[in-house]
Structure 1
């Protein structure tokens, strides 16, 4: 039975991610035959590290990874919500009255019923969820104010929730504070936070300098641009000033002995083998143009530096520079996950994710809501209270019941806490009107409804409403695709293994906590 096959496959993936889900979730250890190990709590990292032969499992992982790459988060919730929806649809299809009045087999009728329910769920969400979330959920959220990046700002609370599931409670506040410090010190030419965020995201490989052998708490910001220098200590020359004003020469390749000798005579320090990312960042900050012929150096190839000096990070020595003519105050952020920038990007009013999703073009941006299942409680309650037609009410009830699986897993170690948080949410809804009729999309934070911090997964943790919305749509699209598969045909051909070169086993997230 293909329907059972889908349920078993999703259930197997659910069992894997459950071990790392929620505030009490642990890390998953992967080992290879070669002895290499990877320790991680990240959902996308865990799913992509699995060796999967099942085509359904591969399709689910691809869907979850695609969503995670776009929004930066939600892989584990994706699998859990998908598993809950599959079980709910199976139960509804089993009770379908047409199954006993059809000349076809019961399995065929149930499969057709499951396929129909999955399609109706997707259609219902595309048509109804936008307005439902705007009216019933957003009034209980907060609108992020990017001008305020101090330690108690909603942005830091939002980042703390993201890092909590990856670094644990001890490190999430430190890292989120470090990122807020980076964003507050980084000013783009047009003085807009989103432009700065986009620039940091694009140039992250050149901004991040890994330092091994030190705990996470030693991470810090360094003023200037850090450039990795590969010369041995014996080959380092004193820095002086050339008559024409050139004292440092940056090169993407290793220079010949003749060039090094000539530059030494001219008291020019040569920094060799610089990565293309670092050179691109320097060109952007300084406005300097690269030169391919030493005999044709012009003024546009030379820029003044505020300073250029060595910096010792751990056991490694680097070159640190600061371009005083650049339009951006550069900063160095030591430890950060690239996906966090993807998570922040949808909060921008003009982000590419919003413009590419036609169904979400009218959805208000920049809203966050208390973590710990608040979004799921609010939407589930709204679906149960709203009146739909008979056919629509079936799929809305399936969605409402499935959403509650997320907070149930969050509070699985404290079942009483689930009931407490749910009661608190319902109480807030009754206090502020069970069905708000409108939402002020540009309302300030102080005019929004606040939930008590003790009922959050984190202390005042926050989640993006837009990313939650995108997650729900992505799950329902994957669900519809799963139930459209009639059969999986196994062949005896050679298995083509998928390259996993994008998975770094040496650079595991677990090392950050050591």
Structure 2
């Protein structure tokens, strides 16, 4: 159970959604595998297997099944998606006279589809429009989208302000940054001023921590304190001469510092959390000063357009307007809710939406090794190396692990897109995805552009300088359309596949995919016959998406990869042994936990 929860949590941290689909799909595949194993008990046993014990046969079959699942994604699933489902993909980018633009209608529908499954029908449209507006406020060029959504997702907690106790309609977007601290000292300043960040107290102590300071008399102690006080006064006057009017501190400053700052006309905001200090450092490009200030070398400063107090709800904050040196245009989000729990739900959904957008604007590259509709592509050799069995698996105990000889067949299910594009980016340059042509008609037509467009420098986390435009921002009609089409192609592949085990896996996974559209149809008032609907989708050239919405292809692919990875680990478990702990051992562990918590 912990393995499933860990895998589902890891999937949610990547895509921001899909936990329910993860559990549904995982359970459906496990049920189909169990039913298939009961009908064909000898299918997953090699010809040389002579195991008579039931647990040994099940363990042997599970190890073979785990290795087959490892090759299923690279040998079957990726080619089908790359060759057969790609014509159905829709790009949220469009081009006009060579200029790349972002289709707002497609982005709005994608975000609306996300919130439709997480919020009530009375507020999801308002929150969806707010999220889309916030996204467009944070960037200037379409090429900056991958960087912007990644930064928003990373610093979301610092860019967000929760206000419980107010209607949701009071939620709004504010330009610039909201620091969640009030001014310790506020001195109004007109025009552009300079500011600096510090992480150490400005007023130094008589001695370092854990160091003894020996004085011979009260007079010597008073002289030492007077020296430190004069030094602090001189430092604040120096900041005033350098036109530094604001100090942002991650630690609490001494009252002496606040006193001389007030006399010098310098505003101070202290006790800032590390997340907000990192946000300021990212926007300004200035590293906070980690050493005590001195008269000889001042830290690097940055310009501040405006810095004023602001009241949001019943709390005072700092409204800071900066000059951003990046493509990211900082804006703050204020989310309101009638009660605290409801506000936290809005915050979680909003953050998940930008995780989803981060995944959307990462390159999607499903490796197309061989044509999936070619019968030769499914001719897996019936040898112990490729089927994942070996001589020691047939004779060893149930708990012995199986290691296939051919390591090329073992493919990791949980691939990141940065790892995939290094190995498959060259082969994808010749392909193109349909561009957006949504307009305002409520439908999207699939049109192939003349060639692959390149967004220079838009996403370079893996060290590459460019990202194929055809592999970024791909979406697909929702409401189970992806699963229905993939099921249809898997069943067609299973009919022509000459490997019985692989064909059985294709049928099992294809049947399991129906659980998601069935769940969606069950939640609606009108029932749709799934086979008939699949036939309609294959025949039509365009799909009306007013009801289905749009979903990121990369999130769908990540869902399949996460489920297959978790599944390959689950089926490899031969036996679970329950161990009962004695009462004394449990009490000792409880006492140790309490001691660790106290320390």
TM surpasses 0.5: yes
Match of 1:491 among 569, 574, 579: 579
Corresponding residue for residue 266 of structure 1: 264
TM-score, normalising length: structure 1 = 0.72
Match of 1:84 among 22, 28, 41: 28
Residues 352-431 of structure 1 mapped to structure 2, 5 A cutoff? 353-357=416-420, 361=424, 364-386=471-493, 387-391=496-500, 392-414=502-524, 417-419=527-529, 422-431=531-540
Corresponding residue for residue 344 of structure 2: none
Tell me, what secondary structure is at the counterpart of 2:7? helix
Corresponding residue for residue 333 of structure 2: 333
Contact 1:161 1:463 in 2 (8 A): yes
Cα distance in 2 for residues equivalent to 1:415 and 1:329: 43
Corresponding residue for residue 27 of structure 1: none
Superposed CA deviations along residues 141-196 of structure 1, whole A, max 9, x for unmatched, are 2112286567x521121112222222233333322322222222223799621112
Match of 2:250 among 249, 252, 255: 252
Offset of residue 77 of structure 1: 0.9
1:472 maps onto 2:560 in alignment: yes
- Structure 1 pair 123/303, CA: closer, same or farther in 2 (3 Å)? closer
Structure 1 stretch displaced more, 322-331 or 275-284: 322-331
1:312 maps onto 2:264 in alignment: no
Cα distance in 2 for residues equivalent to 1:223 and 1:204: 15
Contact 1:355 1:361 in 2 (8 A): no
- Structure 1 pair 414/345, CA: closer, same or farther in 2 (3 Å)? closer
Match of 2:357 among 341, 344, 350: 344
Contact 1:254 1:272 in 2 (8 A): yes
1:141 maps onto 2:89 in alignment: yes
Cα distance in 2 for residues equivalent to 1:166 and 1:389: 43
1:176 maps onto 2:128 in alignment: yes
Match of 2:8 among 53, 64, 79: 64
Name structure 1 gaps, 5 residues minimum.
Answer: 1-56, 433-448, 498-514
Superposed CA deviations along residues 104-162 of structure 1, whole A, max 9, x for unmatched, are 25565455445534542442222111110122222122112286567x52112111222
Offset of residue 324 of structure 1: 3.6
1:481 maps onto 2:544 in alignment: no
Tell me, what secondary structure is at the counterpart of 1:192? helix
- Structure 1 pair 149/325, CA: closer, same or farther in 2 (3 Å)? closer
Tell me, what secondary structure is at the counterpart of 2:74? helix
Corresponding residue for residue 214 of structure 2: none
RMSD: 3.2
Name structure 2 gaps, 5 residues minimum.
Answer: 95-99, 191-239, 336-346, 365-414, 429-470, 591-599
Contact 1:71 1:342 in 2 (8 A): yes
Residues 116-155 of structure 1 mapped to structure 2, 5 A cutoff? 116-145=64-93, 153-155=105-107
1:193 maps onto 2:145 in alignment: yes
Contact 1:156 1:177 in 2 (8 A): yes
Cα distance in 2 for residues equivalent to 1:245 and 1:189: 34
Cα distance in 2 for residues equivalent to 1:297 and 1:450: 68
TM-score, normalising length: structure 2 = 0.63
Offset of residue 289 of structure 1: 4.5
Tell me, what secondary structure is at the counterpart of 1:247? strand
Larger relative strand fraction: 2
Contact 2:108 2:132 in 1 (8 A): yes
Corresponding residue for residue 117 of structure 2: 165
Contact 2:51 2:57 in 1 (8 A): no
Tell me, what secondary structure is at the counterpart of 2:355? helix
Structure 1 stretch displaced more, 86-95 or 274-283: 274-283
Cα distance in 2 for residues equivalent to 1:83 and 1:221: 41
